[in-house]
Structure 1
Amino acid sequence: MIVVEHAGRTLDTFMDSSWEVRADIALQLLQLVDTLREKDPDWVLFFLDVSFQNFAVDSRGWVRLIDLDDVMVIDRRTVVNQEQMEMCNEQCNMDLQKKLYSDEYHCEDILKYTPIMYASICARLLSNLQKHPDRRKWGKTSEESEEQRVEVAGSVESEKHSDSEGLLHGPPDKIKRPLEDALGRCVQETQPGGRLDAVFTLQQILKMT
């Protein structure tokens, strides 16, 4: 017998929810990354597989990571505490993925890569993907196909939500410009540490809505 806990509704089912609900989910996603990076004094948790189906909202309205297959658990004692001294965008992310598949890599410099989790959340879950379709592919591994497809009843269908707008579609006019600016800087870092500054700005914007 297998007992399975119902984790709640996956994020894709909230695309038509009110702005307030979607903004709260977005804020919780960013705070979840805060927790994985910083909360535990002994461990760093790191994940690269970001999709609408890997997160769910439970009956209390709390966002949960429900697919733990690709979560790395890293002992802080093995980590060198390095500040990020350079920007980390697509090529940097690809370099990390190569390291992760190398037997010689032991995660000693993982702290400089952990902000990539924010970029994946901003690009693939939060952004207006109709306006910025390129962001949907941000951070995907080289092994992943350009258009992920699944077999359903003997036919091939495009990945669900490939045409979706992202959780933060249709923001109130008063925050539209600063929100889009912060999302852009979260995805594409323009100066060292700029992604963390953008995430802080995003959190402040979302807390006010």
Structure 2
Amino acid sequence: MLRFLPLKPSRLYRCVKLLVALGVSVVLLMNTHTLLAPFQKNQLTDRRFLALNKCPACFGTSWCRKFTNGQVSFEAWGRLRLLDAFNVKNVFFAQYGEPREGARRVVLKRLGSSQELADIDQKICKRATGRPRCDLVQAVYKTEFARLNGDVRLLTPEVVEGWSDLVHCPSQRLLDRVVRRYAETKDSGSFLLKNLKDTERMQLLMTLAFNPEPLVLQSFPSDEGWPFPKYLGACGRMVAVNYVGEELWSFYNAPWEKRVDLAKQLMDIAEQLTNNDFDFALYLLDVSFDNFAVGPRDGKVIVVDAENVVVADKRLIRQNKPENYDVWYESKFEECDKEACLSFSKDVLCSRVTVDHNYYAVCQNLLSRYATWRGSHGGLLHDPPADVAEDGHLEAMLEECANPRKRHGRFAAAKELRDYLTQLSGATAR
């Protein structure tokens, strides 16, 4: 006669645990091929993964041969698509190999979240057909991105003004520079649109409207000393740029001497982007610790996110002479309870010759006591050595640079701070 003994709670728990473990093991065994597939195949050779099938509603094709030849591959866990849910910015690290040069690290960007990319597809379809879904390749020829097809000579401000931060207030001189340096064409070097193919023009306009970062990197290249990564190329909706190094946040608790050097470089960047021989002012609208990186060998600070950059043509401002164009503009300090806050007016940035915005952004969000990031307060120059802290001079300069009390105080404090950090760097180097 069979007897059924009641299971104790502890024994029941162990049985359930065993059954769950067995179930998971079975599922893993049944899906081994699916789970390992990303590690067995280079996904960056897949046209659909790159969204190459959506061109010319894409960012370019100059690097497609490198992708399809397998010269670019994801690093380690970057191959596992399950992790994409946590990679909201769609930024990936990869290895790029040249037969004679060996492999080097690059950064791949989709230039937007998956939702943002889906939204742009939907907008293109709605404008072309009135429906949210359509044949995207056919639809893009019926949008404003195709407006300049044909024998059009110039890309003019009236066509693209306000599309993105880069062209919030474009001058003809800026747009000629953008077209002349456009790297997604074999016939680069001319500012005439008619020298571009129809598909290349649409790709340029698509990039300009969706995320102009690649055009900023091409128009103000690192080879000329601009503080941006080197633009390498694009394939479909994947853009490749040179890997710079670890993000600035990694150096938040670095030795004082290192932080002084980084702070000096940040102020130098603010000065360079504000005043340069080209008479273009590049104003950084998104200044935070994760938008800068530091080179592992040369220790050079680079702006690694150039999506939100307003470019003002100072020559055009002097020529047009809008109201108060020659009055020095001082950005208004505002405290807030969020990270990386900035207060600014794009229209003002575009209508004044002398603006302190970049000094304000760097001092408030990166260097001073007002800088907050990932729960930390105090900025990159926190906890100075006793001999620096005693006289209070550094603290006073940072305070005036972030939250000035005097008229034109931030301009003076920024210059004084740059000189002071240069002296500190020299002293620590000896």
After TM superposition, the score normalised by the length of structure 1 is: 0.73
Distance, in Å, in 2 between the alignment partners of 1:50 and 1:75 is: 21
Distance change >3 Å, CA 79–CA 178, structure 1 → 2: same
Distance, in Å, in 2 between the alignment partners of 1:49 and 1:4 is: 19
Q: CA deviation at 1:42?
A: 3.4
User: Contact 1:57–1:64 at 8 Å: present in 2 too?
Assistant: yes
Distance change >3 Å, CA 33–CA 116, structure 1 → 2: same
1:174 maps to 387
1:10 maps to 247
Q: Any idea what SS the aligned residue of 1:90 has?
A: coil
Can you give the 5+ residue segments of structure 1 that lack an aligned partner in the other structure?
129-134, 138-159
Q: Which protein, 1 or 2, shows the higher relative CO under an 8 Å CA cutoff with sep ≥ 6?
A: 1
Higher Cα radius of gyration: 2
Q: CA deviation at 1:165?
A: 3.2
**One-letter identity of the residue aligned with 1:166:** G
1:70 maps to 308
2:61 maps to none
Distance, in Å, in 2 between the alignment partners of 1:161 and 1:124 is: 12
| 1:34-53 superposed matches below 5 A | 34-53=271-290
**One-letter identity of the residue aligned with 2:388:** I
Distance, in Å, in 1 between the alignment partners of 2:316 and 2:421 is: 35
| 1:1-209 superposed matches below 5 A | 1=67, 3-59=240-296, 60-80=298-318, 82-84=326-328, 87-90=330-333, 94=343, 96-97=344-345, 99-100=346-347, 107-109=350-352, 111-112=353-354, 114-128=355-369, 135-136=370-371, 161-176=374-389, 177-209=392-424
Distance, in Å, in 1 between the alignment partners of 2:384 and 2:419 is: 14
Q: Any idea what SS the aligned residue of 2:407 has?
A: coil
Q: Deviations over 1:49-100 (max 9, x none)?
A: 110011111131111111110011222222135142x754237x74x42x54
Distance, in Å, in 2 between the alignment partners of 1:79 and 1:71 is: 18
Distance change >3 Å, CA 11–CA 25, structure 1 → 2: same
Q: CA deviation at 1:27?
A: 0.4
Aligned length: 171
**One-letter identity of the residue aligned with 1:179:** L
Moved more, 10-19 or 70-79: 70-79
Q: Deviations over 1:24-59 (max 9, x none)?
A: 000000000110011133311111211001111113
2:40 maps to none
Distance, in Å, in 1 between the alignment partners of 2:240 and 2:280 is: 28
Distance, in Å, in 2 between the alignment partners of 1:172 and 1:106 is: 37
Q: CA deviation at 1:170?
A: 1.4
Distance, in Å, in 2 between the alignment partners of 1:121 and 1:162 is: 18
Root-mean-square deviation (CA), in Å? 2.3
Distance change >3 Å, CA 25–CA 106, structure 1 → 2: closer
**4+ long deviations beyond 4 Å:** none
2:30 maps to none
Distance, in Å, in 2 between the alignment partners of 1:14 and 1:174 is: 22
Q: Any idea what SS the aligned residue of 2:242 has?
A: coil
Larger helix fraction of residues: 2
